[in-house]
Chain A
Amino acid sequence: MDFVQANLPYLLAGISVGGQYALIAIGYTMVYGILRLINFAHGDVFMVAGLLMVYLVTAVPLAAAIPLMILFTVLIGFTIERVAYKPLRSAPRMSIMISAIGVSYLIQNLAYYVTGGLAKTYPSIPWVSDTVTILGATTRRVTLITPVLTIILVIALVALIKYTKIGMAMRAVSRDFETSQLMGIKVDSVISITFIIGTGLAAVGSLLFFSSYTAVTPVAGAMPGLKAFVAAVFGGIGSIPGAVLGAFIIGICENIIKGLGWTTFSDAFTFALLIVILVVKPSGLFGEKNTDKV
Chain B
Amino acid sequence: MLKIKNLQVNYGGIEAVRNISLEVPEKSIVTLIGANGAGKSTTLRSVSGLVRPTAGEITFLGESLTGLPTTEIVKRGVTLVPEGRRIFPDMTVEENLKIGAYLRNDSLTEDMNWVYDLFPRLKERSWQLGGTLSGGEQQMLAVGRALMSRPKLLMMDEPSLGLAPLIVRGIFDIIREINKQGVTILLIEQNANMALQTADIAYVMETGRITRKGSGKELLADESIREAYLGKKKS
Contact = CB atoms under 8 A, between A and B. Distances in A.
A and B interact: yes
A168 B71 CA distance: 16
B80 A182 contact: yes
Contact of A168 (B98, B132, B133, B149): B98
A175 B90 contact: yes
A182 B89 contact: no
B50 A178 contact: yes
B74 A293 contact: no
Given A168-B95, A182-B70, A184-B75, A291 B89 contact: yes
A175 B96 CA distance: 12
Contacts of A172: 88, 91, 99
A184 B77 CA distance: 10
A294 interface: yes
Contacts of A184: 71, 74-75, 102-103, 149
Contacts of B131: 291-293
Contacts of B79: 182
B129 A179 contact: no
Given A171-B90, A172-B99, A291-B129, A181 B75 contact: no
Contact of A183 (B99, B129, B135): B99
B70 A181 contact: yes
B71 A186 contact: yes
A176 interface: yes
B138 A293 contact: yes
Nearest to A175: B88
Given A169-B99, A183-B102, A293-B131, A176 B74 contact: no
Given A168-B95, A183-B100, A292 B89 contact: yes
Of listed A168, A176, A184, A292, residue having the most chain B CB within 10 A: A184
Interface in A162-198: 165, 168-169, 171-172, 175-176, 178-179, 181-186
A171 B88 CA distance: 9
Contact of A179 (B86, B90, B103, B135): B86
A253 to B, nearest CB: 31
Contact of B149 (A171, A183, A293): A183
Contact of B102 (A176, A178, A185): A185
A79 B71 CA distance: 23
Nearest to B155: A182
B89 A293 contact: yes
Interface string A262-294: 000000000000000000000000000001111
B208 interface: no
A236 to B, nearest CB: 14
Contacts of A179: 82, 86, 88
A168 B95 CA distance: 8
Contacts of A181: 50, 69-71, 74
A179 B48 CA distance: 11
B25 interface: no
A183 B74 contact: yes
A159 to B, nearest CB: 15
Nearest to B132: A291
Interface string B132-154: 11010010000001000100000
A179 B80 CA distance: 9
Interface in A81-127: none
A176 B86 contact: yes
A168 B129 CA distance: 14
Which 7 residue pairs spanning A and B have beta carbons closest together?
A: A291-B131, A184-B103, A181-B70, A184-B74, A179-B86, A183-B102, A291-B89
